[in-house]
Structure 1
Amino acid sequence: MGMLFEPFTDVVPSFFGWLNQGPLTLTIFLHTIIILPMFWIYFSEKKRLQQEK
Structure 2
Amino acid sequence: MFEPFVDIVPSFFGWLNQGPMTLTIFLHTFIVLPMFWIYKQEKARLEKENH
TM-score, structure 1 length as denominator? 0.60
TM-score, structure 2 length as denominator? 0.61
Aligned residues: 43
Task: Name structure 2 gaps, 5 residues minimum.
Answer: 1-7
> Highest Rg: 1 or 2?
1
User: 4+ residue runs of structure 1 moved beyond 4 angstroms?
Assistant: none
RMSD over aligned Cα atoms: 1.8
Query: Higher helix fraction: Structure 1 or Structure 2?
Result: 1
Task: Name structure 1 gaps, 5 residues minimum.
Answer: 1-8
Using CA pairs below 8 Å that are at least 6 residues apart, which structure has the higher relative contact order? 2
Percent of aligned positions that are identical? 74
